[in-house]
Homo-oligomer: A and B are copies of this chain.
């Protein structure tokens, strides 16, 4: 049985950096695909540095680094880019990746599902609940341990996926099989549609959605609308959203950080996606959608990396 794999990580933001480090730590051969030459050089010379809560000094792991145009053959491709870059990445994978090698997509939102289902390669979909904070081009802080859940988009790819999971899953960095990855995405979508825009608009940590009664009211309204659209039972998912908000109480959501750093947010693939799925009016979702767009517009947001 193979115990190490050649893995191509596409997109080296916080999640891509975390994956690169944790997979390289397990002796997999990791190649990082990035857009900027500066980041490519840094990754080549310095490797990926991983800071964890329990150690003051980071561990560094050797990785290869290339441009997307130089895409090699790998045993597994993991796509960690955000939506604005996804189109180019999918086009490249379509033409340059071997037909039989699996591609794992780790995006938030739901907008990519239809898109990636047109690839000839085996497509895996995953969500992760690790906390990760990018420190610089080649360093990441693992701020909260979690798991990665993945499933195959097409049933016939299950055997291949189980083989991949056998190799990747370790107690230090667990990978868990999920029968219905679309449901995983939807579940995460509910959380993101509630927590992300509210924490970004009101500039608060996640936990304040539970302690501030007015934010609680708005969160509940947003959750109701989202569950209605996704045909989810409200009570169950509202409990789930509250558990996540409690569990990540001191965290700053990715959307809040994007607004603070004047980056483009994922609002279109979260609240925007929910709005598109509904023929009924969703006033709270519409309000936060326009609100986040307004904040992006106000700060003169531009897309970084």
Q: B204, B221, B286, B298: which contacts A212 (Cβ < 8 A)? A: B298
Would B294 and A212 count as touching, CB distance under 8 A? yes
Within the complex, the shortest CB–CB distance from A206 to chain B, in Å, comes to 14
Within the complex, the shortest CB–CB distance from A141 to chain B, in Å, comes to 27
Interface residues of A (CB under 8 A from B): 201-202, 204, 208, 212-215, 217-218, 221, 283-284, 286-287, 290-291, 293-295, 297-298
Would A295 and B202 be within 8 Å (CB), given that A284-B283, A284-B287 are in contact? yes
Would A214 and B287 count as touching, CB distance under 8 A? no
Within the complex, the shortest CB–CB distance from A157 to chain B, in Å, comes to 41
Copies of this protein chain in the complex: 2
Would B290 and A202 count as touching, CB distance under 8 A? no
Would B212 and A287 count as touching, CB distance under 8 A? no
Residues of chain B within 8 A (CB-CB) of A291 are: 201-202, 214, 218
Within the complex, the shortest CB–CB distance from A245 to chain B, in Å, comes to 14
- Kindly name the residue among A201, A217, A284, A291 whose own CB sees the greatest number of chain B CB atoms within 10 A: A291
Would A298 and B202 be within 8 Å (CB), given that A284-B287, A287-B287 are in contact? yes
Residues of chain B within 8 A (CB-CB) of A204 are: 298
